[in-house]
Structure 1
Amino acid sequence: MQYRTVPKTNDKISAIGFGCMRLPVKNGRIDEKEATKQIHYAIEKGINYFDTAIPYHMGKSESFLGRALLGGFREKVKIATKLPHWSVKSREDMDEILNSQLKKLQTDHIDYYLIHSLAGDSWEKMKNLGVIDFLESAKKSGKIINAGFSFHGDISSFKRIVDENDWEFCQIQYNILDEKNQAGTEGLLYAAQKNLAVIIMEPLRGGNLVNNIPKEVSKIWDEADVKKTPAEWSFQWILNKPEVTTVLSGMNEISQIDENTDTASNAFPDSLTKEELLIVDKAKEAYMKLMKVGCTGCRYCMPCPYGVDIPECFSLYNNYFIFGGKLKTKFHYIIRLGGILSDRGNAGLCRNCGKCKKSCPQNLDIPNLLKDVSKTFEGRTFGIKTAILKKGAELQARISFKKRN
Structure 2
Amino acid sequence: MATQPKLPAIALGTWSWGIGDAGGDQIFGHHLDESDLRPVVDAAMQGGLTLWDTAYAYGAGDSERILGDLLNDYARETYTLSTKFTPQLATDDQAVTEMLAGSLKRLKTDYIDIYWIHNSDDVARWTPKLIPLLQSGQIRQVGVSNHNLAQIKQANQILGTAGFKVSAVQNHFSLLDRASEQEGILDYCRENDIKFFAYMVLEQGALTGKYDMVHPLPADSSRGNVYNPMLPELTKLVQRMQAIGTTQDATVAEVATAWALAKGTLPILGVTKPAYVDSAKRALAVKLSANEIRDLEALADATHLDTHGGWEHSI
User: What TM-score results when the alignment is normalised by the length of structure 1?
Assistant: 0.62
Q: Residue 33 of structure 1 aligns with which residue?
A: 35
Q: Residue 204 of structure 2 aligns with which residue?
A: 206
Q: Is the 8 A contact 1:21 1:61 kept in 2?
A: yes
Q: Residue 81 of structure 1 aligns with which residue?
A: 83
User: What TM-score results when the alignment is normalised by the length of structure 2?
Assistant: 0.78
Q: Residue 251 of structure 1 aligns with which residue?
A: 271
Q: Residues 1-400 of structure 1: matches in 2 within 5 Å? A: 9-23=3-17, 29-118=31-120, 122-124=121-123, 127-128=124-125, 131-132=127-128, 134-151=129-146, 153-165=147-159, 166-179=165-178, 181-182=179-180, 184=182, 186-210=184-208, 211-212=211-212, 214-224=234-244, 226-227=247-248, 228-242=250-264, 244=265, 246-264=266-284, 266=285, 272=288, 276-291=289-304, 315-316=306-307, 332-333=309-310, 335-336=311-312
Paired residue type of 1:190: Y
| Closer, same or farther: CA 253–203 of 1 in aligned 2, 3 Å | same
Tell me by how many angstroms 1:240 deviates. Answer: 1.6
Alpha-carbon RMSD across the aligned residues, in angstroms, is 2.8
Cα displacement string for residues 5-44 of structure 1 (whole angstroms, at most 9, x for unaligned residues) = xx97252211111101123879964321121221121111
- Which has the larger Rg? 1
Gaps of 5+ in 2: 19-23, 160-164, 213-230
For 2:261 and 2:70, the matched residues in 1 are separated by 28
For 2:268 and 2:6, the matched residues in 1 are separated by 15
For 1:191 and 1:287, the matched residues in 2 are separated by 24
Cα displacement string for residues 244-288 of structure 1 (whole angstroms, at most 9, x for unaligned residues) = 3x2110011221111111222x35xxx54xxx3322322332233
Paired residue type of 1:248: I
| Closer, same or farther: CA 182–222 of 1 in aligned 2, 3 Å | closer
Tell me by how many angstroms 1:71 deviates. Answer: 2.2
How many aligned positions are there?
Answer: 277
| Closer, same or farther: CA 95–218 of 1 in aligned 2, 3 Å | closer
For 1:253 and 1:137, the matched residues in 2 are separated by 38
Q: Is the 8 A contact 2:61 2:106 kept in 1?
A: no
Cα displacement string for residues 156-194 of structure 1 (whole angstroms, at most 9, x for unaligned residues) = 434444444322222122122322x25656201102211
Instruction: Tell me the SS of whatever aligns to 1:53.
Output: coil
For 2:206 and 2:267, the matched residues in 1 are separated by 16
The sequence identity of aligned pairs, in percent, is: 21
For 1:145 and 1:231, the matched residues in 2 are separated by 32
For 1:148 and 1:231, the matched residues in 2 are separated by 26
Cα displacement string for residues 361-403 of structure 1 (whole angstroms, at most 9, x for unaligned residues) = xxxxxxxxxxxxxxxxxxxxxxxxxxxxxxxxxxxxxxxxxxx
